[in-house]
Structure 1
Amino acid sequence: MSAQAPSAVILIRAERFTPNPATAADNAFQGDAPAGQSDDDTAAHALAEMDALADALRAAGVRVHVFADEDHTRPDSVFPNNWLSTHAGGMVAVYPMYASNRRHERRADVLEMLKSSYRVQTIVDYSGLEPDGIFLEGTGAMVLDHVSRVAYTARSYRADTHVLERFCTDFGYEPMAFDAVDSAGVPVYHTNVIACIGTDVALIALEMIPDEDRRAQVRERLSVNGRTVVELTEDQIREFAGNAVELCGRTPEGRRRYVMTMSARAHRSLRPDQVAAIEESCEIVSVDIPTIELAGGSVRCMIAGVHLDRRPSAEQELTEAVEAINEDAPGTLDGSDLIRADEGADA
């Protein structure tokens, strides 16, 4: 399995979704609900879009963990990748958030699920940096190459390079920071709206990196191991073409399949040659989410990938325990003996 493409994801089913006014100042991708549309209608449309994404991922054979959120004070909770990331080796990071009304999106129940269902060794919590005005909004602020161990980061209020260096030291990544702006000179608020890194393909708007030397360095670093670099235009970025994520699913027959997940709007913006380049290594799975995209994020922002090893089921643990005992004393136990012993202890 590729280290880049997780086979499980976390989604938040935000029942009171609405574009967040607290993030509009520096998010040039954010929009308003259609005139005359009530908050209830906006929330209902968004819920249908979240459910459609979950269904599409399950159909692709991706394991989906969905958490409900009924809190009307968390308008952006549908975007969990900003406060949480997971990493091979049992590492989990929790991040400091720029908008104060986003900071209580962090959820203990999500972390508890990870600890109970996956092998979690360490949780590193950077959220204590918020009172100092220092922020790093997870895999929104960083686009991580888990294979080459590089953290690509567009500098912004939401991506402090001091925290970036601290994260890279703690988690074993090389920082690759750069400036990225649109044609009006407005800084890109999150790196993951302009770049997506898959196992064998990367999508990125190199034209939005004004420093030519840094642009060339980013391109070279992305392609050094043979990865195809698909260059996106600023117009395509405004259609969220960069806000995609590669996942590892399964066919109905159990074979591994890699899927590039994006919004239908993003998919429509791609040229045929770009689609062909992506489909050389993975299938495109797209879902229409126009309501959620009003908040300035798209499919990538909705997905927190799980890069952790699963814990064995109770049955697997039982089998492993029996095998371990019988290695030392062959024939000592079978599974039924251990079950009866456990039942007696519980009683």
Structure 2
Amino acid sequence: METKIFKPDEVEAAAKLLRQGELVAFPTETVYGLGADATNEQAASNVYAAKGRPSDNPLIVTVSSIEMVERYAQPLSDKVKQLMAQFWPGSLTIVLPLKPGTLSKTVTGGLDTAAFRMPQNQVTLKLIATAGIPIVGPSANTSGKPSPTLAKHVYHDLNGKIAGIVDDGPTKVGVESTIIDMSVDVPTILRPGAVTVAELERVIGDVKADHHHVGANEIPKAPGMKYKHYAPSAQVEIVDQTADFAAAMQWAAQQDEAIGVMATDDVLTRLAIPQNVETYSLGQDIQSATHLLFAGLRHFDLESEVKVIFTEGFANTGLGAAYMNRLDKSAGGMHFLK
């Protein structure tokens, strides 16, 4: 099967494929998602197969309206309505208790909750509304690889495995949505993202965070809590300070193989770059770095043969919490030690 690329004005053809049970990747403001009819158990199963995704890793349900959520979720609380009013459409995924029997265990990972999101991308909102069904929306990549921020990333991983890709250019945010669990007594962030703790607390009061690594016999409530994620072929190492980068460059100069460096322009301009080191700019600050993180990892994965990628670390606060969450997982927790 050759995967077809759809332009933004061809969503009706892509929506028809979704209704027929086919898999179609779609753009969001965060990363590209892999869409399938969330009410079609076989289609949802095919998503796991295409990605090589463990079957107990639940799928996000992507919608075009709050009314679509209400078909499947228990009555929405006031706090949930406040979150939707403030952050939807946008980069916030909300875990909600389900009405019994409304969504397949294939979608929920066997849980009685599901994670819902209404993305900001207008092309995808039209795609879902035209299809008339909610669609599952995990990142459109091979499981464990960096999430795709361009249609070509999706094509590289999934060509021949899915029916189509709706190409709406590069994504704006670059890391996946914040996930907040509203099925528990105290709202709990399961995955940090573009919507920060401070922003959430301004709307609904206190929230807590649960970023623990889910055990082998535990079912995660949201993606990214259990399995290895975001890893390119090369080993990623986090570099915590500019001084550490200088030491990393000294180490790199002694190697016979190509080494990659991902850092902000301020760091890159201070470094003496050895000939065997290839650089990738993360821009000016945490906002640009978050936007470019997955694109940089994909660059080294697809277009280079580096063995190690030294990547700049940031303070684990605000948007930095989302950046460091993804970077730590791509590095397997490995930091460069002088």
TM-score range, shorter chain: under 0.3
Q: TM-score, normalised by structure 1?
A: 0.24
Larger helix fraction of residues: 1
Higher relative contact order (CA 8 A, sep 6+): 1
Higher alpha-carbon Rg: 1
Q: TM-score, normalised by structure 2?
A: 0.25
